[in-house]
Amino acid sequence: MPRKGQKQSEEAKRKISLANKGQKRPSMLGNTNGFKKGQPSFRLGKKHTEETRKKISQAKMGYPSPMKGKKLGFIPKCAFKKGHITWNKGKPYYAIRGEKNHFWTGGEKYERRNHEWKLIRKQVLIQYDFKCVHCGKEENIHIHHKIPFKKVKEHKIENLIPLCTSCHMKEEWKSRRGG
């Protein structure tokens, strides 16, 4: 073999060529592990023999089962950062529903998208010429409650203003932060 930067003689090239004749180059071999990409496992649908099961069992001896001690319906402890204690640690999912949930607002449902709401919405848009109150845009107009609907539980025209999408998001963030 010549050193890096040196050229091989024609005789050396011929000898190497004869030695490699009939052999496939590594680049021609492709996937050498016997599995084809995208093909299902050759073991698919086949069961292990009793002897193989015992060997696998013996190999796993001393290692705890990954599901051991876990109860279904509980929040897994591994889902959170190490040392971080969550507000619902160890509580099953059903224990944080309904009145026990910190987002609970009384359980009353109000239908916003009824016929009455559509009429009130149209009145507000007509009153403000179908424009955003803050920036004056005329596309993607939302109707915003000055005092949140959650608190007043009714749609009064005095409490409603039209806002474009971006202004509406800003107003929502202000109201949620208490600003």
pLDDT tens by residue, 109-127: 666 667 888 899 999 999 9
Domain that residue 98 falls in: 72-103
In a domain, 120, yes or no: yes
pLDDT at 69 over 90: no
Please give the Cα distance from 26 to 31 (Å, whole number): 10
Tell me, yes or no, whether 97 and 141 share the same domain. no
For the chain, the distance separating the N- and C-terminal CA atoms, rounded to the nearest angstrom, is: 78
Percent of the chain with pLDDT over 90: 20
In a domain, 143, yes or no: yes
CB 160 within 8 A of CB 146: yes
Q: What is the mean pLDDT of residues 35-47?
A: 72
In a domain, 170, yes or no: yes
3-class state of residue 85 by DSSP: coil
In a domain, 56, yes or no: no
In a domain, 157, yes or no: yes
CB 116 within 8 A of CB 97: no
State the pTM of this model. 0.41
Residues 6+ apart with CB under 8 A from 137: 131, 164, 167
Which pLDDT score is estimated for 66? 65
In a domain, 38, yes or no: no
Tell me, yes or no, whether 124 and 82 share the same domain. no
In a domain, 61, yes or no: no
Q: Domains in the chain: how many in total?
A: 2
